[in-house]
Structure 1
């Protein structure tokens, strides 16, 4: 799904939200089935679909899942969805702004072809809170975002925080020509799965985000420079020895386990009032 700027102006003038219309629907049936297969959807699963459109993916999901929560804002698509799923009592059509929904309280999967315009806000909604019910998922999104979320070199603090609790894997590129109408850029499929053992305890998610925000202000800065202000010189020496680092290692290249060690070292040796505090985003979009 995607949206062009001229569409945004038009839709805003009608009082409709700019990010949810002008969708690009997957028309390749083989691809739709592959998405559901990769998500390993079964009769015991509750599946959340964000931006259900006209139901191409919904009608594959509700053949396999125990419950499908299909979220769609556009009223004309909601009518189509309700007609298509009328014979499937396991499917609930949620007529709402994606960014205003409440995530299911029970354990759930997310399987979606999401709008390009709000890709990052949707991912934050799904992954920022590690104690949510999200277990795993398959999401089709704009290729550039998929690469950024799964890159070994991490530039964004929120992406780093997600990886303490979730594995994000780039699965494959998807040609724009599998969509109708074709978007301007190619898409990609990523898989999300909750780690069996979190790198950082769930209760420390806010404290870790504060560390990540502080450390990744300059992702290419050497580790020692990026963490200066948190650790004393002797603490830094101890940390670098444990990490097995060379002096010029960029902070953005640390592995998940190394980040776990940085946080553990901070927890053990740095007084709590000196920990960097997380700055909350004012605008969720």
Structure 2
């Protein structure tokens, strides 16, 4: 059925869909690549899919062709709606379109579990959306997996390990509650217009429980303080968290003279537990 729809370049020409910087748009027009991204999300049959920023619908077509039960596509650019409506007509009852800002839409009102999120995210909101999806009020979240396109630098930060320059808050936030891996690299010339940076697709699978026990708010405070001054020793960077921070660092198995990028997720969680225990015993 996907072959019955016109090529994406024709769609863009017909609907005058020149990419706009204000929307963070870089269109992926190669349907072979969009199909690869759809397949990277795993078996889509029996799942509802949330797609943010579908643009002219290349990935949308891939998701539907790969058997998604339903796709909810949220698009901020009114110009794209007519092109997306043509896809909805080709896949009756399987594509729901919402014109609006994904930051303002509650997807759960429109989706039935199991849910997967698959999107070529607009660069200007990608990290914000990821953080929102990784920090819901209740865990596990509404989604089973996230398959998302980012700037390559952001993708590397998500999967980074201790000791690397990319390692920081984003890696810890994601890896505490999920498994993450880069599944596809894309050069600038794969897009229209070509961005100034390379891109990468990251596949994130949620865990039922966080990898190590910790209070989410305490862990975020610890990690934020540690990496806001990542060049400092932790005894200095974390001084504002507790008057006996050196003692708590040692209790968590962390050398007070270590720096944030050297510390594993497990040790950060141990420090968060030690801090939380201090508050409870006061």
Q: TM-score, normalised by structure 1?
A: 0.77
| 3-state SS of 2:23 partner | coil
Alpha-carbon distance between aligned partners in 2 of 1:94 and 1:46, rounded to the nearest angstrom: 15
Give the corresponding residue for 1:114.
121
Give the corresponding residue for 1:6.
none
> Within the alignment, does 1:206 sit opposite 2:210 as a pair?
no
Q: CA deviation at 1:126?
A: 2.1
| 3-state SS of 1:111 partner | strand
Q: CA deviation at 1:62?
A: 1.4
Residues 214 and 242 of structure 1: CA distance in aligned 2, closer, same or farther (over 3 Å): closer
Say which structure is richer in helix: 2
Alpha-carbon distance between aligned partners in 1 of 2:233 and 2:69, rounded to the nearest angstrom: 49
Residues 42-72 of structure 1 show CA distances to partners (whole Å, capped at 9, x for unaligned) of: 2211111110011111111113111111111
Pick which of 70-79 and 119-128 moved more: 119-128
Pairing partner for 2:250 from 240, 258, 281 = 240
Pairing partner for 1:97 from 97, 101, 115 = 101
Give the corresponding residue for 1:260.
269
Alpha-carbon distance between aligned partners in 1 of 2:222 and 2:248, rounded to the nearest angstrom: 18
| 3-state SS of 2:221 partner | helix
Q: CA deviation at 1:31?
A: 1.9
Contact kept? 1:20, 1:115, Cα under 8 Å:
yes
Give the corresponding residue for 1:271.
279
Q: CA deviation at 1:218?
A: 0.8
Q: CA deviation at 1:220?
A: 2.7
Residues 98-142 of structure 1 show CA distances to partners (whole Å, capped at 9, x for unaligned) of: 222213264421111111122222222322226331221211121
Give the corresponding residue for 1:283.
none
Pairing partner for 1:59 from 48, 54, 61 = 61
Q: CA deviation at 1:207?
A: 3.0
Give the corresponding residue for 1:138.
147
Contact kept? 2:252, 2:271, Cα under 8 Å:
no
Give the corresponding residue for 2:175.
163
Pairing partner for 1:223 from 234, 259, 278 = 234
Large movers: runs of 4+ above 6 Å: none
Give the corresponding residue for 1:82.
85
Q: CA deviation at 1:81?
A: 0.5
Residues 156 and 69 of structure 1: CA distance in aligned 2, closer, same or farther (over 3 Å): same
Pairing partner for 2:45 from 43, 46, 60 = 43
Give the unaligned 5+ runs of structure 1.
Answer: 1-16, 275-285
Alpha-carbon distance between aligned partners in 1 of 2:218 and 2:180, rounded to the nearest angstrom: 21
Alpha-carbon distance between aligned partners in 1 of 2:82 and 2:213, rounded to the nearest angstrom: 43
Contact kept? 2:46, 2:114, Cα under 8 Å:
no
| 3-state SS of 2:39 partner | helix
Alpha-carbon distance between aligned partners in 2 of 1:186 and 1:155, rounded to the nearest angstrom: 19
Contact kept? 1:36, 1:60, Cα under 8 Å:
yes
| 3-state SS of 1:86 partner | helix
Residues 273 and 18 of structure 1: CA distance in aligned 2, closer, same or farther (over 3 Å): farther
Pairing partner for 1:128 from 117, 135, 142 = 135
Q: TM-score, normalised by structure 2?
A: 0.78
Q: CA deviation at 1:249?
A: 2.1
